[in-house]
Amino acid sequence: MTFTLPDGLAPEVYPLAWLVGEWEGSGELSYPGIEATAFRQRLSFDHDGGPYLIYSSTITLMGPDGEEGLVWQVESGFWRVAPSAPEGVELQDFQHPLEVILTEASGVISAYMGAVGNGRVDLATRFIASTESGPEVRGATRMYGNVKGELMWAWDLAAFGQELQSYAAARMSRAGEESGVVGLDDAAGGTDDAPAGESPEAP
């Protein structure tokens, strides 16, 4: 599958071009002390011509009849392809080093390091800081994959004294398209299908 690079996208972020746009879908979150709950998510990867993507996400819990309920999590930040991998980190030939900074409304700031390639993103926290009233979070990993045109993601979390484990997962489609609901079992440890990369075409 091919696509046209978004107008004005900086060459530095071409490896992330397949993410650009508005996405929406459903998923499930569950963690020790948090009952398994379905949610809706809307996220955006935008750009202003700079060497980064502008990211935002809102997760809203779903009621018993599928109606949207309370806003659970809001975060925003920047994704950029790093000029080189950190010392001691080896990447595959098809991968590019990735740096992500995220700020959550709950009072958590996270810096992730990782890689993007072949329609898949793998991230792990480099550091996390919380405000005095923010939640106790010690580490996290995230995986995003392009699977047959849909965006699948999984988020593992080490928080509240717990070891790193599955926290949330979702399946998303580009805004205006429908997607199914994904549970934590569907995305734990990644997807069964290898994420399919897309070959960009210049406009």
The one-letter amino acid at 193? D
Q: Which helix (H) or strand (E) holds 141?
A: strand 137-147
Residue whose token pair is 């929406």: 24
Q: What is the pLDDT of residue 78?
A: 98
Q: What is the pLDDT of residue 186?
A: 52
Helix (H, G, I), strand (E, B) or coil at 98: strand
Helix (H, G, I), strand (E, B) or coil at 49: coil
* Residue 100 tokens, joined: 């992500």
Q: What is the pLDDT of residue 108?
A: 97
| Ordered per-residue pLDDT tens for the chain, 203 residues | 566 788 899 999 999 999 999 999 999 999 999 999 999 999 999 999 999 999 999 999 998 877 888 999 999 999 999 999 888 788 999 999 999 999 999 999 999 999 999 999 999 999 999 999 999 999 999 999 999 999 999 999 999 999 999 999 999 999 876 655 455 455 444 444 434 444 344 33
Q: What is the pLDDT of residue 2?
A: 60
Q: What are phi and psi of 185, to 5 degrees?
A: -65, -30
* Residue 64 tokens, joined: 């018993």
Is beta strand 68-81 parallel, antiparallel or unpaired with respect to 96-104? antiparallel
